[in-house]
Chain A
Amino acid sequence: MSKRNQALVICGGLGIGLLVSAVTLMFVGISAPDLLNEFIFSIFTSSRSINAVLALAAPLTIVGLSAAIGFKARFWNIGIEGQVIFGAIGATLIATYDVGPEQFRIYLMASMAMLFGMAWMILPLFLSVKLRVNEIISTLLLNYVAFNFLLHLLYGPWKDPETFFPNSKIYEKSERLNNVMGLEINVSVVIALVFVVLMTWLLSLSRFGYILKFVYANSKMAKSIGIKVVLMVSIAALISGALSGLAGFTISAGIDSRLTQGFFIGYGFLGILIGFLARNNPILVVIFALMMAILMVAGQSLQVFYQIPFAMIQLIQAIIVICVAASEFFIQHRINIIK
């Protein structure tokens, strides 16, 4: 099926998903004009909404990229949340102990975040490659371990010394991601776009990406021709971990300005869903990340103005994924009517 028809089918699935979601929302008591208002008009007309959407879309894009590059090597990174947590922990480490000269600290934080995220991937990667332990479960279990470690830090050694709340002390100005000079857009958006470009280059133009395609398409054949499949998968998985760590940094340094208890919640699933919907294409990741961000910002106002619990948005996101996934069926198979 041609690429154009494929895109049409996906859009069709998306459309149906949005329709079902709209119906569900109407069921819960929101009228149609209100829906249109919340989801379309206010989002695009208020500059504060646009900023909120972009600020959210940046980390969503990065986790989407993380999931995508994992999938491109058939490595299911379900541990995105754990890596996001450790990324933020790495960044906070630099911030809390004021490591390095002030002008470089933010770069140090970003690098440490990527390093920590990558490090949290090493155990599941090793287990998968050496012992054939399924990475889906191992990365997932480590999410829970990371979460508990985070709580340990926040209720313990890193508890805010002034407020005694379970979050870290607030970052200094040099340790935050601020807005791009002159504009109202956070630097994290720029970071996200930079990595979209990098990933596009890596997957479409580089030699690594060319070889990775074979690892994905037929790993037996790849091995036979001499591709070092284990090395390729490892590199992809580690990049995935690093990206998730980076996302953690953009959330804590860009949105919260500190390390909090629940900053990471939802990014794991969303990353995977975005990666899946985008079929691992970095450019499409941006589009679906924006879509999810819009849903979430709209969801927040639904919560405030209409008392609809935020879980509704989760439901809508799931419905959309189901409809798009189901529509893929029509791309893969042709229905023949048997007379």
Chain B
Amino acid sequence: MTITNTYNRDLPATDNVAGTVLSLKNIVKTFGKFVALDNVSFDLKHGEVHALLGENGAGKSTLMNVVCGLYTADSGTILHYDKPILIKSPNDAHNLGVGMVHQHYKLVKPFTALENIQLENGTGPYKASLDRLNAKAVEVSERIGFTVGLHTPVGQLSISEQQRVEILKVLTADAKIIILDEPTAVLTDSESDNLFTAMRSLAASGCSVVFVTHKLREALTFADRITVMRNGITVDTVLPKNMDANVLANLIVGESVVESPKRSKVVTTPKIMIDRLSMADINGVQVISDLSFNVSSGEIYGIAGVGGNGQNELVSILSGLLRADVGTIELDGYGNIEAAKPIELRNYGVACIHSDRASHGLANDLNVDENFAISGVLAGEFGKLVVQRRRARAAAAQAIQDFDVRGVRSQGQKAGLLSGGNAQKLVIAREFSRLPKIVVAHSPCRGLDVRASSAVHEHLLAARDRGGAVILISEDLDEVMLMSDRIGVMSRGSIIAEFEVPADRNKIGKAMAGNA
């Protein structure tokens, strides 16, 4: 793998070390019957940048939540510079100098950045505290090369700016142990570089940094040491310079699951043509701006781009939940479907997998078979007035088998109890059993482990090979590059560049960062 970026590795990596800042031994954490952490051990050395690597569900975030006091471990010891300590609450963690930048930012949107910092770190008389934190935030920003407006409501800032506010919260509290949870999920490659350069300089000045990630490449590039976790256990701690990417991948998954690109064999005429869509949101901001692209039958069109560039809105328009202000969506044989309602789109053969399973995919409190059968019930397939429940249950049972949805212990089981991967398979079972001709998949593998992701990809490929047109929108550039027959880059509400496959990752990365 060639990785070219501007990450500054010249600052000394400290591996002969002043001491072990934090040492976790035999940490156990269970939630009911589920064992999230099974005798996990982890240590962090002074001045290092340490990657905690593993796929979704491995327990990385859980471990870090124990360190920052949001969860209490059931058993195990924690040492701080070799002194045993207890972390029972966020305040304890605070006092220890632990600061965590969460994956889902904990910011109060109507407050300014300064007010958010005050909420986290304020002490003493209010006005004096505000002034003090203001000065400190400015000083820290300059030190690490950040800029962020301290007096605008945080809700109006971009995602990477919001992340900077989170980091300021941590640094103005004089955190010495900084934890970043999946920090680059919503950043472009160059923004990631900037972030890690800043982290490197922090480490050089005496802090210790842990970053949690599922991205192999990131760990290899930016970390001094990598600890791999899998299914709630620590597998190994390794040095990146000795590591091969494939060996590392093996450690993460425990087996070889390698996905390789399977390009389409037959591409025919354009099936769906999106032409010059534009849409403004409630506040008048153009979220979709003159967006156009075509997808043909038997083709997967991947849309790459960092989140927040209109992807959510595009999916809502394509699935009939929102109307565009201007523009058309031509579906071969049906004309302009831009104004069609969700039920009409389903009848035309459009299937949608939303990024937020819990919101749009499943009703967690209802049964697994109800969640499957509802589309049939809606269409009247199980009776017009009364529902023939036995038939519906049988159809659901068949589909659960066909689509390998596991973890269904009884027919009455609630959908919310399924694991992420199986829940997604259930959604796919429901949507794909109608053999859709158009598939819109938005981040379909978010939160899924490698095996489940691979299964989802199989289904997308099958839909394509049946002659369907698949639109895959994902923030994971690796996924887009693996799956797509053609790639479009989305930025600021429009497709700004298209690439034929095989594509140059750097060019795509540049395009993604391009319109800055």
Contacts and interface: CB of A to CB of B under 8 A. Distances in A.
Interface of A: 205-207, 210-211, 213-214, 217-218, 220-228, 334, 338
B385 interface: yes
Contacts of B35: none
B384 to A, nearest CB: 7
A214 B366 contact: yes
A224 B321 CA distance: 7
Contacts of B354: 224
B128 to A, nearest CB: 37
A210 B361 contact: no
Given A224-B321, A224-B360, A214 B374 contact: yes
A210 B374 contact: yes
A205 B363 contact: no
13 contacts: A207-B377, A207-B382, A207-B384, A211-B377, A213-B363, A218-B362, A218-B363, A220-B359, A221-B360, A225-B346, A225-B378, A226-B346, A228-B343
B309 interface: no
A321 B291 CA distance: 55
Contacts of A211: 374, 377-378
Nearest to A215: B363
B365 A207 contact: no
Interface in B298-337: 319, 321
Nearest to B373: A210
B346 A217 contact: no
Interface string B37-76: 0000000000000000000000000000000000010000
Interface of B: 32, 72, 319, 321, 341-346, 352, 354, 359-366, 370, 374-375, 377-378, 380, 382-387
Contacts of B366: 213-214, 217
Contacts of A214: 363, 366, 370, 374
A218 B386 CA distance: 22
A221 B378 contact: no
Contacts of B72: 338
Contacts of A221: 359-363
A15 B366 CA distance: 30
Nearest to A224: B360
A214 B363 CA distance: 7
Contact of A224 (B342, B365, B382, B384): B342
A226 B363 contact: no
A227 B360 CA distance: 12
Contacts of A227: 343, 378
B386 A225 contact: no
Contacts of A210: 370, 374, 377, 387
Given A225-B346, A226-B378, A338-B72, A218 B387 contact: no
B5 to A, nearest CB: 38
A225 B374 contact: yes
Nearest to A201: B386
A228 B382 CA distance: 18
Contacts of A224: 319, 321, 342, 352, 354, 360-361
A210 B360 CA distance: 18
Nearest to B356: A220
Contacts of B321: 223-224
B151 to A, nearest CB: 32
B342 A213 contact: no
Contact of A225 (B32, B342, B365, B387): B342
A226 B341 contact: yes
Contacts of B341: 226
A214 B345 CA distance: 19
Given A218-B362, A224-B342, A206 B386 contact: yes
A217 B363 contact: yes
Contacts of B377: 207, 210-211
Contacts of B380: 207
B343 A217 contact: no
Contacts of B32: 334
Nearest to B75: A339
Contacts of A223: 321, 342
Given A206-B387, A221-B362, 14 more contacts: A206-B386, A213-B366, A214-B374, A217-B366, A218-B362, A221-B361, A224-B342, A224-B352, A224-B354, A225-B375, A226-B341, A226-B375, A227-B343, A338-B72
Nearest to A336: B32
A334 B387 CA distance: 35
B364 to A, nearest CB: 7
Contact of A217 (B319, B364, B378): B364
A210 B375 CA distance: 11
A134 to B, nearest CB: 19
A159 to B, nearest CB: 47
Contacts of B361: 221, 224
B311 to A, nearest CB: 16
A225 B363 CA distance: 11
A48 B352 CA distance: 62
A226 B32 CA distance: 36
Nearest to A339: B74
Contact of B387 (A207, A222, A226, A228): A207
B360 A220 contact: yes
Contacts of B343: 226-228
Nearest to A228: B343
Nearest to B88: A338
A41 B356 CA distance: 57
A129 B98 CA distance: 48
Contacts of B384: 207
A334 B31 CA distance: 11
Nearest to B358: A218
Contacts of B385: 206-207
B174 to A, nearest CB: 29
A112 B370 CA distance: 38
Contacts of B362: 218, 221
Which 8 A-B residue pairs are closest in the complex by CB-CB distance? A226-B343, A217-B363, A218-B363, A226-B342, A224-B360, A217-B365, A210-B387, A220-B359
Given A211-B377, A223-B342, A205 B364 contact: no
Contacts of B363: 213-214, 217-218, 221-222
Nearest to B343: A226
A205 B352 contact: no
A207 B383 contact: yes
A74 B104 CA distance: 29
A224 B386 CA distance: 23
Nearest to B72: A338
Contacts of A218: 359, 362-365
Nearest to B31: A336
Contacts of B345: 226
Contacts of A206: 385-387
A222 B387 CA distance: 18
Contacts of B342: 223-226
Nearest to B414: A217
A207 B383 CA distance: 7
A226 B343 CA distance: 4
A326 B466 CA distance: 54
A218 B375 CA distance: 14
A207 to B, nearest CB: 5
Contacts of A334: 32
A226 B377 CA distance: 11
B314 to A, nearest CB: 15
Contacts of A226: 341-346, 375, 378
Nearest to B431: A225
A217 B342 CA distance: 18
A227 B363 CA distance: 13
